[in-house]
Structure 1
Amino acid sequence: MSSSQPRGSWRRWCSALVFGLLVAGCGKEFSEQAYFVPDDLYAAAAVGSDHLWAAGYFGAIYRTTDGGRSWKKLPSGTQKSIYDISFADEKHGWAVGRRGFVIHTTDGGESWERQDIPRRPSRHIFGIHAIDAEHAWAVGDWGGRYYTADAGETWEDRSFLVYEDHPTFKYLSEAELAAFERGDKVYDDLYMNDIFFLDSERGWIVGEYGIIYRTADGGQTWEKSKILGDVHFEDIEFPKSASEIPRELWPMLFEASELLLEKEYLRVRIEAFMTRDELRKTGNTFLADARAEAVRDFLEGEGVSQDRIRILNATPFDEEDVDMNVFRKKKLNARPFARIAVLETPFLFDIKFKDRSEGLIAGLGGVLMRSNDGGRTWKYVESDSRQALFAVGFGAQRLVAVGDKGLRRVSSDGGATWETPQQGFPKVFAFMRDADFGNEQRGWIVGGDSLVLRTSDGGLTWESISIGSGAEAAGHGAGE
């Protein structure tokens, strides 16, 4: 589900190296013994109370059909990292991952078949959701969005494209502009990290830069959702014909800088104006630009990185190729001021819905968001952490959010408030990468070093489950 490309821990490499040396040196008697090398697990797919598939590094896929009492390592047929896995029922499922591979099973994972998916220029597939045995959706980088209605025999490329009215159209390279003029597809350079369908009609996609899309017609059309942020800045009023920020407004900008440094997922767009009277008296056509640059320089001076600041309607360097009258008109206003608009651009990893109304999103920097209107709008809820949250889950008793370095948060009031569990949750220091509930009572969390946690009481308490050396193994070579 993540745009990052996870890697195994140094302990796995050391274990594998030591194992290889010992086998080489000690002969047949030693090689007959069973040794378990843990795999980092990135994805979980639960069906009912007893069935779970956990997948991750080196193409590893583990399955339990008895609620975690016993495990089998399945032959995935790939050595590439699996980023997501989804099952429609106990038999039919898909797994996707690094370098855009897709594999499909119709026998619960006993065997897997590779499928072809239109993925250029995509390199990775990050998310998959099986709606039923025939229908599934997948998402990836470069705006990747793919759909099958025939169990993966064919996949339709429904990726997000760049059009003339797209916000990034002006930043296309010469090669991309030439492709656009030829009528070729120009793909949106965005990571789509996760996709979730509640039923055959209602689905959601999340990705980088605060991207949230929703559909209510089975994916025929998609609408962009809105993040209702709680950070707003007052306009900066300038003295007539001046471009320096008044000293009495510095405290407001100091506070703005602190908020931006605290909430790294926010970006700002600066738009400055001048009056007709100022233009007439000074003849300075760049006065509005100077005001915008003064605000930008102030924020940068306080530590806000340049890539998080954008100036709107900046005068182009090459004035000969543009109509300057158009730019002047955009900069004229009855007031001499600058506006700082806050852009909600969190990097989002995971999205899930409990029903048609209630949804949760987890993201980078401890981002947690909640929706009560089917995903039309989203509000931040406090996680009290700046570490990454990778996954969320709905239990009957408590909601759960998990992430990097053992980060976990639970909610007992439907997601309005979150806290660190003081009991009923094992002390974990590895990353926890995914969470999934087969029903309201039985849920699972998976993560680094073959971590598996299980709840049987709707998320109220969790226990550690060992895959261990008892897992029936399927061999794999070196992977990525």
Structure 2
Amino acid sequence: MAAKKGFRIKSLLPPLIVIGALGWLSTLEVELPDVFVQEQIIELRDRFYDVVVPNEQVVWAVGKSGKIVRSDDRGETFYVQSTPTEAHLQSIAAWDDQHAVVIGNDGLTLNTVDGGVTWEPVDAPLGEVAKKMFRTEIGPNGRVWATAEFGSILYSDDRGLSWTRVGGDQDVAWNDVGFAKPDQVCVDEEIEQPSCSDDENGAGCAGDEVEQRSCSDGPVDRVCVVGEFGQLGCSDDQGETWLAKETPLDSSLMGIAFSDDLNGLAVGLDGHVLQTADAGETWDTVNSPTGKHLFGLDWVDGVWVIVGEKG
């Protein structure tokens, strides 16, 4: 934490004496004591929206007006890192204590390769109006994902140096992203199959549509997103296509996470909690001890940790 040198002179003398004394002091070299003033790192008006802990020592937090703070001693002390923006920063994800990415308002993303000594801005490929981004997470394969307004979902394969937009232009804000790994994925498809019969004019064939099920040979890396109006969607091809999954809610879902390949939770407004045991294919309600809004969750040391409104 940087310390600033400085001093303060407090005068109790009448103004005329002070004026005369200033003229006299101008001819002298006066040695004044050094007074160290510690910079205030975190103020009451600060708001932090996300935190990431890449290892046992380092903690990063991001928030209002482009502020990023970092701790190298497990949160005992923090220092401010310089950023090139005053936009609100909504979320941060880190591969290690040197490489991280931040997303925020106005379609802004930041990335660092030196532990936050420098943060480089990169504009996300979003529309001209809906440019607010909400959550970023790193998938099992190292690809980083980000969710945003108007159905936008983005990913980066170069740690935030460039972004690709997937998903449609739905009038929905996707609030969070999570990762599952179903043992097998099966898809029902309608295909045209010849159907032949004999009649008085001879043999003839007509095309019939039949339903055929195709299944993957093994586990699939699944990406799931949650958003407004109880909407939940998953992709089994890394964002090329998305399938809506039915939920029993019509209020917004704010967070999603998985404890293993198959089991996960989604949380949202009014204290709603959903659970899945099949990698997000189906979702059921869970009795919740609160009616307050729930905003996020994580699986920590074998326990679900859920955070929400008013503590």
Identify the residue that residue 205 of structure 1 maps to in structure 2: 225
Over 3 Å counting, the alpha-carbon distance change for 1:67 and 1:34 in structure 2 is closer
Question: CA contact under 8 A between 1:133 and 1:151: conserved in structure 2?
Answer: no
Cα shift at 1:191: 0.6
Distance in 2, Cα, partners of 1:210 & 1:224: 11
Q: Within the alignment, does 1:84 sit opposite 2:91 as a pair?
A: yes
* TM-score between the two structures when normalised by the length of structure 1: 0.46
Written as runs of structure 1 = structure 2, the 5 A alignment for 1:271-290 is none
Question: Which of the numbers 350, 353, 377 marks the counterpart of 2:282?
Answer: 377
Distance in 2, Cα, partners of 1:81 & 1:147: 20
Q: Within the alignment, does 1:117 sit opposite 2:129 as a pair?
A: no
Distance in 1, Cα, partners of 2:77 & 2:235: 39
Higher helix share: 1
Identify the residue that residue 113 of structure 2 maps to in structure 1: 106
* TM-score between the two structures when normalised by the length of structure 2: 0.70
Deviation by residue 1:229-264 (Cα, 9 ceiling, x = unmatched): 3xxxxxxxxxxxxxxxxxxxxxxxxxxxxxxxxxxx
Cα shift at 1:364: 0.9
Written as runs of structure 1 = structure 2, the 5 A alignment for 1:389-468 is 389-406=294-311
Question: CA contact under 8 A between 1:122 and 1:142: conserved in structure 2?
Answer: yes
Distance in 1, Cα, partners of 2:142 & 2:165: 17
Deviation by residue 1:118-169 (Cα, 9 ceiling, x = unmatched): 1104220111123489732211111111122233333222131xxxxxxxxx
Distance in 2, Cα, partners of 1:370 & 1:205: 14
Q: Within the alignment, does 1:351 sit opposite 2:256 as a pair?
A: yes
Distance in 2, Cα, partners of 1:151 & 1:372: 31
Cα shift at 1:393: 1.7
Q: Within the alignment, does 1:37 sit opposite 2:43 as a pair?
A: yes
For the residue of structure 2 that corresponds to 1:377, the secondary structure is coil
Distance in 2, Cα, partners of 1:133 & 1:206: 20
Q: Within the alignment, does 1:218 sit opposite 2:238 as a pair?
A: yes
Question: Which of the numbers 166, 174, 178 marks the counterpart of 1:192?
Answer: 174
Cα shift at 1:221: 2.6
Task: Name which one, 1 or 2, has greater alpha-carbon Rg.
Answer: 2
Cα shift at 1:347: 0.4
Cα shift at 1:33: 4.7
Question: CA contact under 8 A between 1:201 and 1:219: conserved in structure 2?
Answer: no
For the residue of structure 2 that corresponds to 1:405, the secondary structure is coil
Distance in 2, Cα, partners of 1:402 & 1:25: 48
RCO comparison, higher one (Cα < 8 Å, 6+):
1
Distance in 2, Cα, partners of 1:75 & 1:142: 31
Cα shift at 1:86: 0.7
Give % identity: 28
For the residue of structure 2 that corresponds to 1:54, the secondary structure is strand
Corresponding residue pairs, total = 243
Identify the residue that residue 61 of structure 2 maps to in structure 1: 54
Question: CA contact under 8 A between 2:100 and 2:159: conserved in structure 1?
Answer: no
Written as runs of structure 1 = structure 2, the 5 A alignment for 1:285-324 is none
Q: Which runs of 5+ in 1 are unaligned?
A: 1-23, 161-186, 230-343, 407-480
Over 3 Å counting, the alpha-carbon distance change for 1:25 and 1:94 in structure 2 is farther
Deviation by residue 1:189-211 (Cα, 9 ceiling, x = unmatched): 11111123358933211110111
Question: CA contact under 8 A between 2:66 and 2:88: conserved in structure 1?
Answer: yes
Question: CA contact under 8 A between 2:180 and 2:262: conserved in structure 1?
Answer: no
For the residue of structure 1 that corresponds to 2:256, the secondary structure is strand
Over 3 Å counting, the alpha-carbon distance change for 1:149 and 1:107 in structure 2 is same
Q: Which runs of 5+ in 2 are unaligned?
A: 1-7, 12-33, 182-219
Deviation by residue 1:33-65 (Cα, 9 ceiling, x = unmatched): 533414221111222333321111122222223
For the residue of structure 1 that corresponds to 2:230, the secondary structure is coil
Distance in 2, Cα, partners of 1:381 & 1:97: 31
Question: CA contact under 8 A between 1:348 and 1:364: conserved in structure 2?
Answer: yes
For the residue of structure 2 that corresponds to 1:143, the secondary structure is coil
Question: CA contact under 8 A between 1:134 and 1:152: conserved in structure 2?
Answer: no
Higher strand share: 2
Distance in 1, Cα, partners of 2:225 & 2:61: 22
Distance in 1, Cα, partners of 2:134 & 2:35: 40
Question: Which of the numbers 63, 67, 83 marks the counterpart of 2:70?
Answer: 63
Question: CA contact under 8 A between 2:110 and 2:160: conserved in structure 1?
Answer: no
Distance in 2, Cα, partners of 1:54 & 1:221: 33
Cα shift at 1:25: 12
Comparing 61-70 and 104-113, the one that deviates more: 61-70
